[in-house]
């Protein structure tokens, strides 16, 4: 008996879910800055990502770009990527995207923010073992309600949280983030 690989079908389902979400977010939020990223991943990682995207259109969850009154931006040091990144993560169950961004911000930096919609909308394209798919990366814009930081991360992924006037060189997606910060 020959096993049939359904990875192409899974990738197609992920594409459809991502397309629906992307269109929905574009239609509900005006003035979103958009960007595209491309990632080459292993076959195993490709399957995991495609499965995530079929659930809600998101390969990585939601994130937030939060500034304080002086314009400094909040970044967290993520253990797995060993870089400064925007706080964020997976959406739990029926949680709204904005609620997930708020929860992740509280866990990873110990603060609350007032959100003003989506700042950046990413299209993340994945290629692996001859297959391709994509997912949506929504990044909410927020203004910090306080600036005292504390990490309460239940996943133990966050090593540090800091406010930055200037983005450090080892900031993930630095050019996209810098462009948006300069325009806002």
Asked, for residue 32, whether it belongs to a domain, the answer is yes
Identify the pLDDT of residue 3.
46
Helix axes 43-56, 7-28, angle to 10 degrees: 40
The answer as to whether 166 is a domain residue is yes
Q: Is the pTM of this model over 0.85?
A: yes
Q: What's the domain count of the chain?
A: 1
Residue 34 lies in a domain: yes
User: For residue 30, what pLDDT is reported?
Assistant: 83
Note down the domain range covering 46: 7-183
Name every residue whose Cβ is closer than 8 Å to that of residue 105 and which is 6 or more positions away in sequence.
Answer: 64, 66, 87, 88, 111, 112, 113, 142
Residue 1 inside a domain? The answer is no
Is residue 133 helix, strand or coil?
strand
Within a domain: 19: yes
Give 56-111 pLDDT, tens digit per residue. 999 999 999 999 999 999 999 999 999 999 999 999 989 999 999 999 999 999 99
Write out pLDDT tens, residues 113-149.
Answer: 999 999 999 999 999 999 999 999 999 999 999 999 9
Place of tokens 């948006």: 180
CATH of the domain at 36: 3.90.79.10
In a domain, 2, yes or no: no
Question: From CA 177, how far away is CA 184, in angstroms rounded?
Answer: 11
- The answer to whether residue 163 sits within a structural domain is yes
Residues 6+ apart with CB under 8 A from 179: 33
Give me the residue label for tokens 């930055």: 164
């Amino acid at each position: 008996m020959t096993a049939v690989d359904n990875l192409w079908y899974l990738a197609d389902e992920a594409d459809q879910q991502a397309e629906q979400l992307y269109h929905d977010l574009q239609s509900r939020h005006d003035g979103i800055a958009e960007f595209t990223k491309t990632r080459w991943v292993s076959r195993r990682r490709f399957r995991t990502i495609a499965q995530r995207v079929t659930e809600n259109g998101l390969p990585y969850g939601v994130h937030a770009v939060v500034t304080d009154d002086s314009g400094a931006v909040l970044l967290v040091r993520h253990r797995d990527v060993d870089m400064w990144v925007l706080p964020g993560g997976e959406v739990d169950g029926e949680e709204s995207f904005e609620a997930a961004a708020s929860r992740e911000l509280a866990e990873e930096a110990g603060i609350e923010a007032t959100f003003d919609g989506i700042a950046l909308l990413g299209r993340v394209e994945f290629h692996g073992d001859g297959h391709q798919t994509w997912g949506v990366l929504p990044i909410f814009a927020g203004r910090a309600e306080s600036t005292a930081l504390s990490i309460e991360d239940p996943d133990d992924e966050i090593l540090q949280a800091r406010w930055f006037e200037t983005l450090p060189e080892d900031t993930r997606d630095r050019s996209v983030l810098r462009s948006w910060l300069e325009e806002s």
